Structure 1
Amino acid sequence: MGDLLDDDLEFRGGTLQLSTDPNAEDPAGSSENNTATEPKSKPSSNVNPSILSGADSLSSSTSSFADARTQEPANASAVPPQEQTVYPRYDVPFNRENIKDFFTFRKGVVENAIQECITVLLFPEDGEYLGAWLLTEITLWDNEKERIVLLTSRLVMTIKYDFIAMKQLDFKKTYLDDLDTIVIGEMVYPPSSLVPERNLRGVRLMWNKGEPLPLKMAWNPFNQDVPFITFASHPIYWHKDGEVEERSTYDMEIFAQKLQRAVESMASSSCCIHHSPIVIQSYVGVSSMLHNKTSMGFFKVRGKFSF
């Protein structure tokens, strides 16, 4: 009996060993096989690079679309590090009182305008109708513009619409076959930029085959041939009450999701879809900040005037 007790104590003393090194291997396992130890592989980090350095630095396409406003699940600690995604926070544009000055905030205005554009501008040869939105276009010079966007199985139509006179002013068709890159992600500025961060996500449609913009195009504010277009959610999205379907009309995320599906369903398309930051080449941005602060790109009541 005494021998059994001594053996038991000796066994326990050999197993109660603590180590402060989290990577330390089991001492019992190492004593059994000292020559066949394998180094542990380190999990690779899934970091989406910026498009600032060019199209080659973009992350690979993903088949699933991630909404930045989705709450992190309660069991997020159980998700491996390489599968966790950190989304940027949103800055709510304007306040409840200012948003009421927008003509598009009035009931029925956007719906009637979209229906008119669909009836007048879309034809059978434009493909199957997939959806319509009121979004914010971010121009090359970082100016925000209010635009109706129609999506079909063949094209994206961007429409400048007068919401005061209720008439279409101009439109532009971008065919999905011409797109070579679509980028979905947070909008950022170059490191040397003095412009405050937007804290806003967007989607950029590109058809320049990864080539940088010529100087005469990049520095011409009146140039209309920029080979990409950028959209963000309309400010009304954050202030519109009602059903999710009604708010989706102003939601860039829903548009980007349907655009991605439309492109992926085209057998003839060679477009690559990436989830990474969208670089806005604005360094000082005084004029654009003034333009966006006063919401000059939107139709709204401005004191005694409306424009």
Structure 2
Amino acid sequence: MSDLMEDGMEFRGGTLQLSTENNVENSESRARGATQSHNKIKTPISVNPSVLSGADSLSSSASSFADARQSTSNNDNAEQPQTVYPRYDVPFDKENIKDFFTFRKGVVENAIQECITGLLFPEDGEYLGSWLLTEITLWDNEKERIVLLTSRLVMIIKYDFIAMKQMDFRKTYLDDLDTVVIGELVYPPSSLVPERNLRGVRMMWNKGEPLPLKTLWNPFSQEVPFITFASHPIYWHRDGNIEERSTFDMETFAQKLQRAIENIPSSACCIHHSPIVIQSYLGLASLLHNKTSMGFFKVRGKFSF
């Protein structure tokens, strides 16, 4: 009996010893895995903020605004121009851009001041900023527009920069917006239109409903429930400090628009950072329109229009 007990004790002791070794091995294995995982987390990953606003990333208005050039905004040397988003295709060249009437010094500033004085009233809310941007229409046509932002609305103004007078304007109230999308301008996969390599912002108030056919196939329709903006071509060619260039910068407008919406307690607008789809599949007319910059006021040989 004592021999059996001794054998049993040896057996139990052996079992305890094996279990201990397994626990040690498991602990060491977990420790090594945790160390490797920690090392992976600690490894710096260089990611362009604009890449995070692609199709795999969708953030609400509670998230901070992802500006593609934000990484250089806090540098000590503030006199240097900001780094432009690397996928931007610079529109036009130095010589061509000089034909734009808005490239002339003081023209844009005077036009904006005239619009502020003549079109904004106290009931429109607190004035927040003004820009000269490129509107991209439903049919993918680029048009030059003055944009005024207040705490209550966005005002889009068609302005004649040759005659220096207002031609038309429309107001979009921030309370009416249900979605704002900030991201790269893209075309459907089956589209034959070349990539834009450009970012934009789209304000929408259609509550997710598809466009009716009478609006979708009418290039002159005034009932399109969204507006899309990109930076004005002058942004890439304007010399001077960042503040002067920001007048032509879509990113600055989108940032202030988001803040204005977030400051409205009753707003149910969602702000997404994702690609903006332009429903253009062949686009021959728009390609010709945009290539000849027909939506901008400029000198064209012996004529100006």
TM-score by length of 1: 0.79
What is the identity, as a one-letter code, of the residue corresponding to 1:156? Answer: V
Q: What is the SS of the residue equivalent to 2:171?
A: strand
Report if the CA contact (8 A) 1:155-1:173 is conserved: yes
The amino acid that maps onto 1:207 is W
Q: Deviations over 1:91-150 (max 9, x none)?
A: 100000000000000010000000000000000000000000000000000000000000
Match of residue 12 from structure 2: none
Match of 1:246 among 244, 247, 253: 244
Assess if the C-alpha contact under 8 Å between 2:193 and 2:283 holds in 1.
Answer: yes
Contact residue 88 and residue 186 of structure 1 kept, 8 A: no
Larger Rg: 2
**Cα pair distance change 1:167/1:156, threshold 3 Å:** same
In structure 2, the residue matched to 1:203 is 201
Distance 1:94 1:34, change over 3 A: closer
Q: In proportion to residue count, which structure has more helix?
A: 2
- Classify the secondary structure of the residue corresponding to 1:172: strand
- Aligned residue for 2:66? 66
CA distance in 2, matches of 1:204, 1:142: 13
The answer to whether residue 156 in structure 2 is matched with residue 166 in structure 1 is: no
Residue 63 (structure 1) shift: 2.4
Specify the alignment match of 2:180 in structure 1.
182
Question: Following TM superposition, where does structure 1 have runs of at least 4 consecutive aligned residues deviating by more than 6 angstroms?
Answer: 34-37, 39-43
CA distance in structure 2 between the partners assigned to 1:126 and 1:304 by the alignment: 41
8 Å contact from structure 2 (residues 54, 183) kept in 1: no
**Contact kept? 2:53, 2:66, Cα under 8 Å:** no
- Asked if 1 retains the 8 angstrom alpha-carbon contact of 2:54 and 2:184, the reply is no
CA contact 1:128–1:152 (8 Å) conserved in 2: yes
What is the deviation of 1:48? Answer: 5.3
Distance 1:193 1:266, change over 3 A: same
Deviation (angstroms), 1:36: 8.5
Alignment of 1:1-307 (within 5 A): 31-33=25-27, 50=55, 59-70=59-70, 89-307=87-305
* Residues 144 and 295, structure 1, Cα contact 8 Å, conserved in 2: yes
Superposed displacement of residue 69, structure 1:
3.0
**Please, which runs of 5 or more residues in structure 1 have no aligned partner?**
1-26, 52-56, 74-86
SS of equivalent residue, structure 2 residue 196: coil
Conserved in 1, the CA contact under 8 Å of 2:53 and 2:183? Answer: no
Identity %: 80
Match of 1:16 in 2: none
Deviations for 1:270-293, whole angstroms, at most 9, x for unmatched residues? 100110000000000100000000
Distance 2:239 2:156 in 1: 25
Query: How far is the alpha carbon of 1:269 from its aligned partner?
Result: 0.6
Aligned length: 262
| Contact 2:54/2:273 (<8 A) preserved | no
Deviations 1:248-307 (A, max 9, x none): 100000000000000000001110011000000000010000000000000000000000
What is the rounded CA distance, in whole Å, between the counterparts of 1:255 and 1:306 in structure 2? 29
Equivalent residue letter for 1:239: H
SS at structure 2 position matched to 1:191? coil
Unpaired runs of at least 5, structure 2: 1-20, 42-50, 74-84
**CA deviation after TM superposition for structure 1 residue 215, in Å:** 1.6
RMSD: 2.8
